[in-house]
Amino acid sequence: MYPFTEGSYAPRNGWYVAAFRNEIGDDLLSRWILNQPVVMYRKDDGTAVAVEGRCPHRHFPLGASKRVGDAIQCGYHGITFDAAGKCTFVPSQEKIPGVYTIRSYPLVERGLWAWIWPGDPAKADESLIPTLAEIGFEIEGIYAKPFYAHDVDGRYQLLNDNLLDLSHLGYLHGTSIGTTDDAATPEERDVTDRRVSSRRVMRNTPPTPAVRAKHAIEGLVDRVSGMEFYFPGFHAGIGEVRLPEGHERAGELINFSRVWHAVTPAKTFTTNYFFAMGSTDRQGVDDMVEYLKPVLAEDMFATVEIEKIVQTLDDLPPELMLKSDGTAVLGRRILQRMMDREREEARLARSTP
Amino acid sequence: MYPFTEGSYAPRNGWYVAAFRNEIGDDLLSRWILNQPVVMYRKDDGTAVAVEGRCPHRHFPLGASKRVGDAIQCGYHGITFDAAGKCTFVPSQEKIPGVYTIRSYPLVERGLWAWIWPGDPAKADESLIPTLAEIGFEIEGIYAKPFYAHDVDGRYQLLNDNLLDLSHLGYLHGTSIGTTDDAATPEERDVTDRRVSSRRVMRNTPPTPAVRAKHAIEGLVDRVSGMEFYFPGFHAGIGEVRLPEGHERAGELINFSRVWHAVTPAKTFTTNYFFAMGSTDRQGVDDMVEYLKPVLAEDMFATVEIEKIVQTLDDLPPELMLKSDGTAVLGRRILQRMMDREREEARLARSTP
Amino acid sequence: MYPFTEGSYAPRNGWYVAAFRNEIGDDLLSRWILNQPVVMYRKDDGTAVAVEGRCPHRHFPLGASKRVGDAIQCGYHGITFDAAGKCTFVPSQEKIPGVYTIRSYPLVERGLWAWIWPGDPAKADESLIPTLAEIGFEIEGIYAKPFYAHDVDGRYQLLNDNLLDLSHLGYLHGTSIGTTDDAATPEERDVTDRRVSSRRVMRNTPPTPAVRAKHAIEGLVDRVSGMEFYFPGFHAGIGEVRLPEGHERAGELINFSRVWHAVTPAKTFTTNYFFAMGSTDRQGVDDMVEYLKPVLAEDMFATVEIEKIVQTLDDLPPELMLKSDGTAVLGRRILQRMMDREREEARLARSTP
């Protein structure tokens, strides 16, 4: 499936953000994740859990069902499953068939997020979750806040592509968070087995409209803009603005922010998109909630419109790549490799007696 | 097609409810039945008729056309068909081509319903329609009333499944017409070549919230709850509440009702659903029209939500069956057998010179 | 694809109306044409141009982008294309890759319309566009006016079929622009390599309701009604009403109109439909804008409803043709032949080294 090979949808063995932690409470929270209905809730002891959202009896949505203690009672025929996915009650018979279970997903709360592992639970290694240190969440004095959770009508990779190529900042977001220097400046790239990092350092560059609206800046600034893509679906961004060489307070940090985008496949052509922000400037973060709404709407507009074109065209021509697509191409290649490996493992598992 | 074998949609040789009789009048009534557009109306002599709803000339909907006497004049080019489906007028030429006919469906009015036979008319045996006696329509003093006709966004078998397993009453309808004893009580089953009957007899059981709301009952009651599924799409239900042993008026019938659900495939993933009710308690029936609206809405909610899950999941896992699914499994098996037989007959007909 | 052979959608080598000329201005106008997104605008020198509406970089809609001088700057990453489709600016690199182009479509303004050639530009011969003389646009004193541009939810050939068989006038439009004599009168047909012409001459016939509403006519009239179908998607209609033989002013023209319908495939199951009208009676034309709205709505209703039936039926039976379908059958055959020829040419082009 575009932009991956035929039959490739999304890696399953990886940590995705399933929800902001503050979305998970006593009530059942339903969400599609990698084409599976999932239900999340917080047990009486406060632990957040995620289980399959489909009753195996008649496919009724467990997210539209009823919580009974720490268990979910199917809203259709009353079959009940505990938080580990084990059936604990069948209203019509004493004996509970051994096959009566639903999937229980590894779910880890870290930072603002609840991370889910949709694949083989035996492989769910928590050390693969981005650490709070590496995503800038432990910076002294940082104030982090979940902004928006959206269900976007477009396939997830369009949002990853968006975040893997910040040359769009000065165009899609030219009236707010970017300038034409974002695209004009070459990026530095760094790859590890956990993430791809890209960064642009702009010196003596105009401030973005957003920064200009906030600070009484005359003249040019130095800017750093970067994004780190933790596979398979988390992007940690950095933005820094300093007074440039020559200024009397040269080098002074006048604006600093961290942004966190989580991109989680929902259904084949829809995506769960979580955006959060942090800064040492608490007021600055609170002010951005409204300011960034239209900016995120621009990204979602691009995603939805491209999805329409991709779905309508019979023969979608291959994209014409530019040098600035290097990071996005790399990101796609890494996800493709994860999917290829999973397919190969599944093939081997089937052929092994 | 789930839950039937690949390529199996619905039996065609069978009587389905096409409409409540009181829906059919002078005006043209359009309805999709088994993936065919059908038009119904009442001729000047009062006879209800059903014909194909598609003009064979240019596929224009005859239900959006004009009645001229007992005939339908296509709203596009004026080609006219009588109530038997014979073309009686072509505006642009004198000679009417012999092929110019539309299907006319056997349509029988019985009880509250107009029954249609979508399959081979030569096989349309009226004795296969449920008799009024067997569905409880001739009980002395019974007052029967059509309640609602709905177009449900889900495949028809989901509604049949619903009605073939009343263990859902205490859960999906736990605040109205069921208690947990419905599921906890084993059912008696009886099968003939016309119908599957299932029934639960509950003694010293709590009354349902609906009964409690109506009658000032203290303590327990005896209840009978049952459903008879007349193939391929009619369900006649019975509900009885009596004062239990030990009560001074033990055995007295305090509540009695008949419900009639007709489930008729509309399009592949939609269903015509007709609900009616009867009782010797006339006021009781009239009172239920509003009371049962949210109850029926619960059944339709289950249907629509399951349909969504079934359509979204790439690989729908097989259902995990319980003993309480025996009647539903039997009902499905009988419909599957009807479809298999029709397919085999069609195959033979094609291969016979 | 119905009503053409499997895999046949629409001829590409032909002039279609892309827009009314007065729709094209400084702003970018987006439109789907033969399953391709197209953008139209007027350059600073006034020339109307049409280019591909999809950025080849990331499939972003260029119609939702920004005009910069005579060029379009993609709203996503700023890549810029001139009116000839040549890339003139890539924000992130100096060198512009040679492959960076978008299609530029031949676009010719003639009469009220801008005509586009979606196929091979080398074959775009302007002499194939209907001349203003032949469509009645140069009649002395004629006042021509674009009425409506619609996006219709039905495949384009349903609208062509509608216009190729005016026997529907007295039925679909029986309360306005037709009488039963339209269908009852045989048509004269004339075919050239550019168009099929059909015409009905009705003598001593009732005036249409539209004419009766406008003129105080008592008794019968003579009418001429005709349509010329210029391949692949333009219909020029003529309507004349005269006082009949025996009248004291016999032969006097009391009503005269030209109508122009342009039918342009949008997506597979949707159509761009442009309706315009002309007459020497200026006031008469202006009066018709409101009057004809419900009439056109009837045609679109037929199209949309037939589309639904065609899409829903698993096995669409072949249409039962009448003599009055001769022109429509001919029109379809000519379009099919155009498509067959294009397919054959493409096959030859692929096999030629």
CATH number at residue A198: 3.90.380.10
In a domain, C316, yes or no: yes
How far apart are alpha carbons B34 and B271 in whole angstroms? 9
Beta carbons of A171 and C57 less than 8 Å apart: no
How far apart are alpha carbons B167 and B323 in whole angstroms? 11
- Mean pLDDT, to the nearest integer, of B166-171? 98
Task: Provide the pLDDT for residue B216.
Answer: 81
Task: Provide the pLDDT for residue B214.
Answer: 87
> Taking a contact as any Cβ pair under 8 Å apart, which residues of chain C between 136 and 175 contact chain B?
161, 165, 167-168, 170-172
Q: A177: which residues sit within 8 A by CB, 6+ positions away?
A: A169, A208, A209, A210, A292, A295
Beta carbons of C172 and B99 less than 8 Å apart: no
Long-range contacts, C338-345 (Cβ 8 Å, 24+): C338/C11, C338/C13, C338/C14, C338/C231, C338/C232, C339/C4, C339/C8, C339/C9, C339/C10, C339/C11, C340/C8, C342/C11, C342/C12, C342/C13, C342/C119, C343/C7, C343/C8
Beta carbons of A183 and C73 less than 8 Å apart: no
Which residue of chain B is at minimal alpha-carbon distance from C173? B76
CA distance B292 to chain A (A): 17
What ipTM was estimated for this complex?
0.96
Where on the phi/psi map is residue C214: left (φ > 0), alpha (ψ -120 to 50), or beta?
A: alpha
Task: Provide the pLDDT for residue A83.
Answer: 98
Whether residues B199 and B65 share a domain: the answer is: no
Scan for tokens 């177009």, then name that residue. Answer: B151
In a domain, C11, yes or no: no
- Please tell me which of the candidates C165, C306, C314 has its beta carbon nearest to residue B59: C306
- Mean pLDDT, to the nearest integer, of B296-321? 96
- Mean pLDDT, to the nearest integer, of A275-279? 97
pLDDT in tens, A27-70: 999 999 999 999 999 999 999 999 999 999 999 999 999 999 99
Q: Give the residue numbers spanning the domain of C23.
A: 16-123
> Of B123, B149, B174, which residue is a domain's last?
B123
CATH number of the domain residue A35 falls in: 2.102.10.10
Beta carbons of C57 and A306 less than 8 Å apart: no
Chain C residues close to B93, C-beta within 8 Å:
322-324
Query: Which residue in B76, B156, B143, B154 sits closest to B332, CA to CA?
Result: B156
In a domain, B264, yes or no: yes
- Mean pLDDT, to the nearest integer, of B84-98? 96
- Please tell me which of the candidates A75, A76, A99 has its beta carbon nearest to residue B320: A99
Tell me if chain B has a CB within 8 Å of the CB of C313: yes
Percent of chain B with pLDDT over 90: 97
How far apart are alpha carbons C215 and C218 in whole angstroms? 9
pLDDT in tens, A204-235: 999 999 999 888 888 999 999 999 999 999 99
Which residue of chain B is at minimal alpha-carbon distance from C303? B60
Whether residues B190 and B147 share a domain: the answer is: yes
Whether residues B157 and B116 share a domain: the answer is: no
A352 pLDDT higher than 80: no
Beta carbons of C267 and A312 less than 8 Å apart: yes
Q: What are phi and psi of B177, to 5 degrees?
A: -110, 10
In a domain, A232, yes or no: yes
pLDDT-derived band of residue C218, with 50, 70 and 90 as boundaries? confident
- Mean pLDDT, to the nearest integer, of C81-86? 98
pLDDT-derived band of residue B262, with 50, 70 and 90 as boundaries? very high
Whether residues C102 and C166 share a domain: the answer is: no
Percent of chain A with pLDDT over 70: 100
Instruction: Give the chains touching A; criterion: ≥3 Cβ pairs < 8 Å.
Output: B, C
Beta carbons of A305 and C64 less than 8 Å apart: yes
Whether residues B230 and B307 share a domain: the answer is: yes
How is residue C308 written in tokens?
Answer: 């639904």
CA distance A152 to chain C (A): 16
Long-range contacts, C21-28 (Cβ 8 Å, 24+): C21/C48, C21/C109, C21/C112, C21/C113, C21/C114, C22/C112, C22/C146, C23/C114, C23/C149, C24/C48, C24/C114, C26/C67, C27/C67, C28/C62, C28/C63, C28/C64, C28/C65, C28/C67, C28/C72
pLDDT-derived band of residue B352, with 50, 70 and 90 as boundaries? confident
Contact A265, A152 (CB under 8 A): no
- Please tell me which of the candidates A78, A100, A267 has its beta carbon nearest to residue B312: A267
How far apart are alpha carbons C178 and C185 in whole angstroms? 12
How is residue C313 written in tokens?
Answer: 């039926």
> Of C123, C152, C172, which residue is a domain's last?
C123
Whether residues C256 and C275 share a domain: the answer is: yes
CA distance B172 to chain A (A): 5
Beta carbons of C183 and B54 less than 8 Å apart: no
Whether residues B218 and B81 share a domain: the answer is: no
B14 pLDDT higher than 90: yes
Chain B residues close to C322, C-beta within 8 Å:
57, 79, 90, 92-93, 97
Chain C residues close to A175, C-beta within 8 Å:
none
pLDDT-derived band of residue A2, with 50, 70 and 90 as boundaries? very high
Whether residues A116 and A154 share a domain: the answer is: no
Is the preceding omega at residue C318 within 30 degrees of 0, hence cis?
no
| Helix (H), strand (E) counts: chain A | 7, 18
B65 pLDDT higher than 90: yes
Beta pairing, strands B107-110 & B113-116: antiparallel
Task: Provide the pLDDT for residue A56.
Answer: 97
How far apart are alpha carbons A281 and B124 in whole angstroms? 79
How is residue B9 written in tokens?
Answer: 């949609």
Percent of chain C with pLDDT over 90: 97
In a domain, B3, yes or no: no
Instruction: Give the chains touching B; criterion: ≥3 Cβ pairs < 8 Å.
Output: A, C
Which residue of chain C is at minimal alpha-carbon distance from A178? C77
Whether residues A188 and A99 share a domain: the answer is: no
Which residue of chain A is at minimal alpha-carbon distance from B158? A58
Contact A149, A23 (CB under 8 A): yes
Q: Amino acid letter at A332?
A: R
Separation of CA B294 from chain center: 19
Distances (CA, A) of B334 to B231, B269, B318, C312: 8, 20, 19, 27
pLDDT-derived band of residue B218, with 50, 70 and 90 as boundaries? confident
Strand partners, B101: B86
Tell me if chain C has a CB within 8 Å of the CB of B92: yes
Task: Provide the pLDDT for residue B147.
Answer: 97
Task: Provide the pLDDT for residue C217.
Answer: 83
CA distance C47 to chain B (A): 42
Whether residues B279 and B167 share a domain: the answer is: yes
How far apart are alpha carbons A264 and A29 in whole angstroms? 16
pLDDT in tens, A285-301: 999 999 999 999 999 99
> Of A74, A100, A123, which residue is a domain's last?
A123
B161 pLDDT higher than 80: yes
Task: Provide the pLDDT for residue B150.
Answer: 97
CA distance C80 to chain A (A): 11
pTM: 0.96
Tell me if chain A has a CB within 8 Å of the CB of C103: no
- Mean pLDDT, to the nearest integer, of A247-263? 95
CA distance B177 to chain A (A): 14
The helix, strand and coil proportions of chain C, stated in percent and rounded to the nearest 5, come to 25, 30, 40
Task: Report the C-alpha dihedral over residues A341, A342, A346, A352, rounded to 10 degrees.
Answer: 40
Q: Which residues of B54-70 are buried (b: 16+ CB within 10 A; e: fewer)?
A: bbbbbbbbbbbbeeeeb
Task: Provide the pLDDT for residue C322.
Answer: 95
Q: Give the number of domains in chain A.
A: 2
CA distance B243 to chain A (A): 25
In a domain, A233, yes or no: yes
pLDDT-derived band of residue C314, with 50, 70 and 90 as boundaries? confident
pLDDT in tens, C37-59: 999 999 999 999 999 999 999 99
Tell me if chain B has a CB within 8 Å of the CB of A61: yes
Q: What are phi and psi of C167, to 5 degrees?
A: -65, -10
- Mean pLDDT, to the nearest integer, of A142-161? 98
Tell me if chain B has a CB within 8 Å of the CB of A76: yes
Q: E strands along chain B, which residues?
A: 16-20, 29-33, 36-42, 48-52, 66-68, 71-73, 80-81, 87-89, 104-105, 107-110, 113-116, 143-152, 188-191, 195-205, 221-230, 234-242, 253-265, 271-279
Task: Provide the pLDDT for residue C215.
Answer: 85
Beta carbons of A322 and C60 less than 8 Å apart: no
How far apart are alpha carbons C266 and A337 in whole angstroms? 38
Whether residues C165 and C313 share a domain: the answer is: yes
In a domain, A130, yes or no: no
How is residue A246 written in tokens?
Answer: 């020559």
Whether residues C61 and C148 share a domain: the answer is: no
pLDDT-derived band of residue C200, with 50, 70 and 90 as boundaries? very high
How far apart are alpha carbons A324 and C150 in whole angstroms? 40
CA distance C213 to chain B (A): 22
In a domain, A193, yes or no: yes
pLDDT in tens, B95-140: 999 999 999 999 999 999 999 999 999 999 999 999 999 999 999 9
How far apart are alpha carbons C274 and C296 in whole angstroms? 10
Beta carbons of B59 and C320 less than 8 Å apart: no
Tell me if chain C has a CB within 8 Å of the CB of B35: yes
Which residue of chain A is at minimal alpha-carbon distance from B165? A77
Beta pairing, strands A195-205 & A221-230: antiparallel
